[in-house]
Amino acid sequence: MIIRHLALRQGRRALTSQPIRRWTRFFASQVDTVEASLQTTLGEIRKVEAFVNSRSDHPVSPVDADPSSTPDNDASPEENLSNLGSEITPHYQPHTLLTNPPSPSDITLELLLASGAHLGHNTSLWNPGNAKYIHGIRDGVHILSLETTAAHLRRACKIVTEVARRGGLILFVGTRAGQDRCVVKAAELAGGCHLFDRWTPGSITNGQQILGNCRMKVVDELDREIPDFEEQLLDRSVLKPDLVVCLNPLENYVLLHECGLNNIPTIGIIDTNADPTWVTYPIPANDDSLRCVQVIAGVLGRAGEAGNKMRLEAASQGEVTYQPAQGLKMPAEKKDGEGQASSGSAPVSELGFLQTLM
């Protein structure tokens, strides 16, 4: 009881010593301070709006405008907030490497760096033959020189373009997991053949026994098939590729060895742990990066596409850029319903060979 009465007595004294108008004046001063700061902030915002309106063609609406007068007042919150924030342009879209591969003119150091082409293997796994391709060491990993990679890749593109321009058969090989789609796409662009499964040993050195049942066809200079040559193709030996592009040489050493025995030029991606003497035209790059393999395969496919386009343009003007097939005889002429002789093939000097792998 004594403590409660003491608190009441001291409370009355506090109230009598601090009048209510003092507290009112205190809160009023606080409100004035907040209002002054808001006015200052609003003034700065208006200055920024005036500066932006003077520099841009689209004026910015004032801050204190009535929201009910704007035409977007009835729009949904998603529409009102759709224009907020910054626009970020995507730099890497994985599907574009397959749907729209880069061309040889798009080869840049930035593209190779983004694809991880410069990353090699651990220094303990390196092959001394790759010393001229290595730029340095980073955290125990060899770093390939991207300038050397770009130069060798451009050289390989010129080779693929020239082989395709002369009507050669190009074989794209990639047997690692995930390489099948880029291998097929490159073969489609270059008009060649593809292999994404295990290489059958002896397909080149003993091709007549392994690929003897594959169908061959005769085409003219515009890649149109000419019939009535099936009987003459039965006794001919199987075709061999004029150029082999191998995306993983370590797993296809037998293929590269057979190409060497038959003097078939080869192009391969050589990492720091591979022997560059296995292929004719090495491309020092990271063969473990799927993005790097897709970039290289797409560029080589585009190079083959450019070569085929040059060959067809020359053929449309009457110029044959490849050596025609030898040992073919024109099929017997057939008479049509009117008794006139007609031949279903072009002159032998304009015939070429294509092989369809079954």
Collapsed DSSP state (helix, strand, coil) of residue 353: strand
Q: What is the pTM of this model?
A: 0.71
Higher pLDDT, 150 or 222: 150
pLDDT of residue 24: 53
- Phi and psi angles of residue 218, each rounded to the nearest 5 degrees, phi first: -105, 130
Confidence of residue 357 (pLDDT cuts 50, 70, 90): very low
- What homologous superfamily is domain 96-322+350-356 in, according to CATH? Glucose-6-phosphate isomerase like protein; domain 1 (3.40.50.10490)
In whole angstroms, how far apart are CA 200 and each of 109, 127, 213, 258?
37, 27, 15, 11
pLDDT of residue 33: 75
Confidence of residue 35 (pLDDT cuts 50, 70, 90): confident
Please give the helix or strand (H or E) that residue 170 lies within, else none.
strand 170-173
pLDDT of residue 22: 55
Domain residues of the chain, as ranges?
2-64, 96-322+350-356
Residue type, 145: S
Residue 128, Cα to own-chain centre: how many angstroms?
31
Q: What is the DSSP code string of 264-304? A: --EEEEE-TTS-GGGSSEEEES-TT-HHHHHHHHHHHHHHH
Over the stretch 61-117, which tens digit does the pLDDT of each residue have?
554 545 454 545 566 766 767 677 777 776 778 888 999 999 999 999 999 999 999
Strands 119-122 and 193-195: unpaired
End-to-end CA gap in the chain: 108
Confidence of residue 21 (pLDDT cuts 50, 70, 90): low
Task: Measure the CA–CA gap between 183 and 325, rounded to whole angstroms.
Answer: 28
Average pLDDT, the chain: 81
In whole angstroms, how far apart are CA 47 and each of 38, 56, 58, 66, 199?
14, 14, 16, 19, 72
Which residue has 């006015």 as its token pair?
39
Confidence of residue 222 (pLDDT cuts 50, 70, 90): confident
Task: Measure the CA–CA gap between 188 and 331, rounded to whole angstroms.
Answer: 31
Task: Measure the CA–CA gap between 98 and 156, rounded to whole angstroms.
Answer: 20
Residue 114 tokens, joined: 């983004």
